[in-house]
Amino acid sequence: MGENGYLTLGSPGGVPVRVHWTAPLGAVILSGLSWRPGAWLGFLVLIVVHELGHAALVKLNRLQVIEVMIHAIGGECRWVGNATEVQRSVVSWGGVLAQALLLVVALVVRAAVGLPSAFVADLLGVWTTTNLMIMAINLIPYGSLDGVQAWKLPGLLRERRARQQRRSRLRVVEPPRRDDVSSSALSESLQREVDRITREALRDAKKPKN
């Protein structure tokens, strides 16, 4: 057993995944204290997938993941970096997006092989029905749930788009160069002089001769 009761299972993508000794107990409790090893494994994998989803979006935003920690009441993705509010909201969506991917995989496997045993039935049951329930709970904008930060994303994106539009409207147009102004003014002056001489010549031509 490692430090503070955690055991490092591995480092997928360079992210250390550490599981506390109480995590299996939490899975047993969530399974109704019954002998359902498929459900136990399903819960543990589901939590790991959720936290790795956060970790993936942390790295995608060029922030630093410290570790993923799994314990009896869930998990935590620890990361650091000078993140913007938009980046924080994007990272908050990582968990449920990873769960959605796991849901698709579970549905494909279920369609392909069915439920050949109680173990597989419990495993896929957690990855489908229970998975959907946990996704819905996580997206509730309350307390420390992901939904608090995640649902800020649409408003933050609208604000950023509005700022970009304002900056675009206020963009200063580069004034013409001095040489261009002088050449243009000279050309107009010459044209006016030519027009004047032409008009005078036409008037003289129309005057009757004595």
Does 135 lie in the same domain as 36? yes
Same domain for 47 and 101?
yes
Verify that 119 and 200 share a domain, yes or no. Answer: no
Residue 173 confidence (pLDDT) above 60? no
For residue 65, give the 3-state DSSP assignment: strand
Q: What is the tally of structural domains in the chain? A: 2
**Position 163 confidence tier, pLDDT thresholds 50, 70, 90:** confident
Task: Based on the fold, state whether residues 185 and 156 are members of the same structural domain.
Answer: no
Helix (H, G, I), strand (E, B) or coil at 76: strand
Query: Could you tell me if 150 and 139 are in contact, meaning their C-beta atoms sit under 8 angstroms apart?
Result: yes
Report the alpha-carbon angle 141-146-147, nearest 5.
30
pLDDT value at residue 2: 66
User: What range defines the domain where residue 186 resides?
Assistant: 180-204
- Over residues 178-207, mean pLDDT: 69
Lowest average pLDDT, out of 27-31, 54-58, 68-72, 92-96, goes to: 27-31
Q: What type of residue is 122?
A: D
Q: Is the pTM of this model over 0.75?
A: yes
Q: Give yes or no: residues 7 and 103 share one domain.
A: yes
Q: Taking each helix axis from N to C terminus, what angle separates 118-125 and 85-113, rounded to the nearest 10 degrees?
A: 150
Residue that wins the pLDDT comparison between 76 and 33: 76
Do 58 and 100 reside in the same domain of the chain?
A: yes
Note whether residue 163 is domain-resident: yes
State yes or no: pLDDT of 186 exceeds 70. no
